[in-house]
Amino acid sequence: MDPKVSQSYAALGLPSTADRTAVKTEYRRLALLHHPDKIPAWQKLQAQEDMEAINAAYETLGGYLDWKESSDRARAAEREAWGRKRREKEERMRKEREAEAERVQKMREEREKREWEEKCKKMEEEMNRGFAESRREYLRIQQEKAEEERKEREKMVDGEEEVRKMKAAWQQQYAEAGIWLAEKKKAPAGASAVVVVEEEKEDEDVEMEMEMEDAEEKIPSDGKIRFSLRNLKK
C-alpha cells in the first residue's frame, strides 16, 4: 500500500481495511469536531491546520478507494472472464470427450454389426451348402431307386416275354406232336376208335397244362427262363 494512503488512514484514525462508508463517517465526525466555526477563536489556527489535514486525508482515501474499487471490479471482471473461459474450456472438453466417446461407441457398434453380418453370411452359406448336399443326396437316392424300379420292371417284362414265348413254343410243339401222333396212330374202327383218340388228346392237354404251371412256378429270380422239351410226350 502507498505510504500516503497509510498516513491518510492514520490521520482519520482508521485501519487500512476501512471501507468508503467508514471513511465518510469518520470524516464527517472529525470535520464537525475540528471545524473552525465550532471552536474558540484562539484555537482556530490549529483547527484550520487539522481541517486541512483531514480534508487531504479524505481526498487521498477517496482517490485510493476509487482506484481500489475500480481495481476490484477489474479483478472481479478478470476473474469472471477467467472463470467463463475455464467453464467454456471445460464445456468444450466435455463435448470433445462426449464426441470421442460417441465416435468410439459408433465404431464399436459398426464393428459388431459387421462381425454379426459376416457371421450370419457364413451361417447362411453353411446352411445353403447343407441344403445342396442334402438335395444331391436325395436326388441320388431317388435316381438309384428309379434305376432299381426300372430294372425290376425290365425283369418282369423279360419274364413275361419268356413265358409268352415258351407258351407259344409249347403250343406249337404240342400241335406238331398232336399231328404226328394222329398220323402215327390208327384209330380203331367205329365209334370206339374216336373215343380213344379223344381221351388220349384230353390226357395230353391236361399233362401239358400241368407242365406249363410247373414251369411258371419255377421261373428264376433273374426273370430268365430255361426252356426244355425233354418232358414232352413223344
Provide the residue-wise pLDDT of the chain in tens; the chain has 234 residues: 678 888 888 888 888 888 889 989 988 888 888 777 777 777 778 878 888 888 999 899 889 899 988 988 898 998 999 999 999 999 999 999 999 999 999 999 999 999 999 999 999 988 888 888 888 889 999 999 998 888 888 888 777 777 787 777 777 777 776 665 666 655 454 444 444 445 555 555 555 556 555 555 554 555 444 444 444 444
Residues near 219 by beta carbon (within 8 Å), at least 6 away in sequence: 159, 162, 163, 225
What pLDDT does residue 234 have? 42
Q: Are 64 and 8 in contact (CB under 8 A)?
A: yes
pLDDT at 195: 42
Q: Which residues contact 229 (CB under 8 A, 6 or more apart)?
A: 173
In this prediction, residue 184 carries a pLDDT of 60
Q: What is the dihedral of CA 61, 67, 71, 72, to 10 degrees?
A: 40
Q: What is the CA radius of gyration of the chain?
A: 71
The CATH classification number of 3-91 equals 1.10.287.110
| Relative orientation angle of helices 44-184 and 3-12, to the nearest 10 degrees | 120
